[in-house]
A = this chain, B = another copy of it.
Amino acid sequence: MRRVAISSAATSRFAKAAERPIFDIACEPCFDILKESGKDVDAVLFSTCATEQYSSTIVSEMLGLKPKVSQRMDNLCNSGTNAIATAYSLIASGLCESALVVGAEKAHSEGNRLVWDVTRGSFNFPVHWASMFARSHMRLHGTTEEQMAQVSVKNHRNAARNENALFRKPVTLKQVMESKMIAEPVKLLDCSAPCDGASAVLLLSEEKTKKAKNPVWIKGIGQQTNGASFASNTDFTALDTAKKAANEAYKMARIKPSQVDVAELHDAFTILEIMAYEDLGFAKKGEGGRFVGQDGIAINPRGGILGCGHPVGATGVAQVAEITLQLSGRAGRRQVKGCKTGLVHNLAAAGSSATVMVLGS
């Protein structure tokens, strides 16, 4: 099978809602990438929950591209990694030699809330899912509110070194613990915020990477969707989708969890990062709370979703963009030294769908 690499990555500054069309937001991270690569791009895949028609082709035209493949793709919050998996397959299958994946979203996106899931009655905002997960994990495993808060402290601290993050100030444990209670025990600073933002990556076939400096190889991809709601959940302390996706990605990449040096995990809420440690095999089941702040693996060096903000269609692409920069030694102030193997963990809608990728330099 043909190998596929990511040759370049760029992310725009995530920002509060402003009067900018989604197309303008989407184009922004692409200019630098295309200046370097030229306009001979075989595919443009646009990951967004924005509902404008023909959006991928409009973005292609605005960028001056005439690709073979142009399509917009969405699946709520893991749209971005799904689009990258599709780009991988277009190249690995031989249909394309290159693919530009751009993810973009506006703050007031229709993708911010899942109205379909009636399993929790009127409690259908994402924070309600987080509340159920947190309460269950606390009850079953003794995880504490302070441990969850430490996730927020760590990711805000990392985001302070990321000029593209929405939140650029560190927060203290006290500030997190005293922030407004939204849905017990989830507080305001345990939650991520929607925002405007975009990120883009360029994938190339092995032949085309000969001209690229420091290509980052896609070594493993795992995906799993169990449903659109909680209807099939039997456990609120672990995500079966993430476990399956991770196992598949590790198997394809032929690595063990302990070989991961750096990872971007889906911290839309602090409890999700704690669950991710366990689902990905970084920590044993129930030990996720105690794993916060360990220094064996660099977690969410860009600041994660908590620090950067959550432009839904862009998030998965931004996660992959960060790991690409890390593995190619281009992460500047955020550089994790000596990292060779990276992982991205991207969820959708209370973890009813999950995508995991393993990248390597």
Contact = CB atoms under 8 A, between A and B. Distances in A.
Contacts of A75: 54, 56-57, 70-72
B61 A228 contact: yes
Nearest to A225: B70
Contacts of A82: 69-71
Given A58-B228, A89-B86, A227-B57, A68 B114 contact: no
A268 interface: no
Contact of A348 (B57, B111, B116): B57
Nearest to A47: B71
A17 to B, nearest CB: 18
Interface residues of A, number: 56
A284 to B, nearest CB: 26
A93 interface: yes
Interface of A: 1, 44, 49, 51, 53-54, 56-58, 60-61, 66-76, 79, 82-83, 85-86, 88-90, 92-95, 110-111, 114-116, 221-229, 231-232, 245, 248, 348-349, 352-353
7 contacts: A66-B232, A68-B224, A68-B248, A71-B73, A71-B75, A72-B73, A92-B93
